[in-house]
Structure 1
Amino acid sequence: MSLVFQKVNSHFYAAIDKNLCNGCGICADERCQVNAIEENEETYSIIKDKCIGCGLCISTCPEEAIVLKRKDEKACVVPPVDENEWFKNRAQTRGVDYSIHE
């Protein structure tokens, strides 16, 4: 059984246009906090599953080769309404009966 942990609820991910990327590496070396950018032969690319969609890499790209793209609707998770809803969801994923806490 594998567990998936969502750290940030963003409906976006970064994408690098390989035709515009000059391979400077600023995005990967200085900006990406989650190591979601990898070096290729002459350019860089985003590891989509690791990208949290924060956009920090965009602000330092001298070639403006990075943009945020919206995820498919089915990949977008609606955040809980409040903290209590978050606890219910968390309990459900862990198999805990949260009804005794309501």
Structure 2
Amino acid sequence: MGKQGSAIVSIGLGAAILYLGAHAVTGHQGLLAYVDLQAQEHALEQRVEALEAERAALEARAARMRPETLDLDYLDERARLTLAAGDREELVFTLDR
């Protein structure tokens, strides 16, 4: 093999390295896909935390309504809010959370 054959091999190897490098960055399992998956994972973890907090709040509300731990003030509050009931002499203030 002369200089021309050696140059062809070098160009071929360079092209293969360039192709594999580009695929490592932009491919299906490349660096950009990895970064995107990390962002998706972070968003899903935040969603799970929010759902767990919501579940805990709902469980606390349910616990206040069980017969063995019935909170009469809470029951009265929920009934008034749900039914929009009150006495003519009462002023009702609702606060947004």
Range of TM-score over shorter length: under 0.3
Q: Larger helix proportion, structure 1 or 2?
A: 2
Q: Larger strand proportion, structure 1 or 2?
A: 1
Q: Which has the larger radius of gyration?
A: 2
